[in-house]
Amino acid sequence: MSSEIRRTNPTRLKKIHRQSVEVTIELDPVDAGATAFSISRLDLDRYELPEDSDLVAVAYSGHHEMRAEIGTVGKPKIGKKFAFDYDLAGASTFRLLVRKQSSPVLLASCEQIKATRDGEDKTSSQSLLHVSFDDIGERLWRLQQQGGDRPVLVINNCEQPDLKGKLAMKDPVMRGLIVPQAFEQVLIYLADHWDSDDGEDHWVADWKRKLVELDVEDPPSPGEVDNVRRWASDATDSFCDLCKFVKDVARMELNDG
């Protein structure tokens, strides 16, 4: 009798195989950190679950977890991006929970889903814009670039507004207002030092690789000031198309509303 009990699933909880679920992590085009995740594939037909069952994705790392409602079995939110909470920015393991509609009753689950990383071939694993924090008076930020050294984005370390915290939380408004302008300034600086890279690890080589990924041609001669500025502006437009700064701000406002 006891042996039969051990073989029985009294809750009738269905186990979903990990092969049925694919989670994708989106990487930040600037620093290659994980910014969001989405369910990129979901195959639940074989499990014969009610179409109106609620789906919940759970990202977890250490003692922290984040839950996102991702639709129903019949209408899952495939491809919808969910921005990571700050504590979960490094999460790569997930759970999928299937619950009875509008109820805490659990019908099925998939455990220890390992996420795949989207865009790893589209962005360098090394940060393009190195960041430091300093007291720079009434400036919110400035770009430190001197003598051919790697450019550094300097952010004001004031307590209020907490720019350091906003940057750590990947605040889309702050990023959208700062990163494109800093990127464009670096490109103008880069044009002046285009031939100065002395190896694959040199900062110029990092930026050249990024421009190849963006399908940007080599810059004009540094003496052609207007053409260099036009080149930097066009390349920055391509970078912004990749980063989708406006869409990120719109998504934030939609979620806040």
CATH number of the domain where residue 70 is located: 2.60.40
User: Does 126 have pLDDT greater than 70?
Assistant: no
> Regarding predicted confidence, which is higher, 237 or 60?
237
**Residues in a beta bridge with 69:** 56
| 123 domain residue, yes or no | no
Residues 152 and 252 in one domain: yes
Query: 161 preceded by cis ω (within 30°)?
Result: yes
Domain that holds residue 7: 2-118
Residues 108 and 142 in one domain: no
User: Does 101 have pLDDT greater than 60?
Assistant: yes
Residue 119 contacts residue 34 (beta carbons within 8 Å): no
| 125 domain residue, yes or no | no
Domain total of the chain: 2
Last residue of a domain, one of 95, 118, 141: 118
Residue 57 contacts residue 95 (beta carbons within 8 Å): yes
Residues 49 and 158 in one domain: no
Residues 142 and 182 in one domain: yes
**Going edge to edge, which strands form the sheet with 14-15?**
14-15, 106-114, 93-99, 54-61, 64-72
Residues 188 and 219 in one domain: yes
Return the structure tokens found at 191. 């044009």
**Residues in a beta bridge with 78:** none
Instruction: Read off the pLDDT of residues 205-246 as tens digits, 9 standing for 90 and up.
Output: 889 988 988 889 999 999 999 999 999 999 999 999 888 889
Mean pLDDT of the chain: 84
Phi, psi of 118 (to 5 degrees): -85, 135
Cα distances (angstroms) measured from residue 43 to each of 20, 21, 31, 53? 5, 7, 33, 14
Residues 154 and 244 in one domain: yes
Instruction: Read off the pLDDT of residues 186-206 as tens digits, 9 standing for 90 and up.
Output: 999 999 999 886 665 578 988
Give the helix/strand (H/E) hosting 243.
helix 225-243
Residues 42 and 66 in one domain: yes
Tell me how far the alpha carbon of residue 171 is from its chain's centroid: 12
Residues 30 and 70 in one domain: yes
- pLDDT band at residue 165 under the 50/70/90 scheme: confident
Over residues 136-151, the mean pLDDT reads: 90
Query: Which pTM was predicted?
Result: 0.55
Residues 103 and 175 in one domain: no
Last residue of a domain, one of 92, 118, 144: 118
pLDDT of residue 149: 84
Instruction: Read off the pLDDT of residues 3-47 as tens digits, 9 standing for 90 and up.
Output: 333 334 556 799 999 889 999 887 766 655 677 899 999 999 999
Q: Give me the DSSP letters along 125-164.
A: SS-SSEEEEE--TT-SEEEE--TTPPPEEEEE--SSS-HH
Last residue of a domain, one of 86, 118, 150: 118
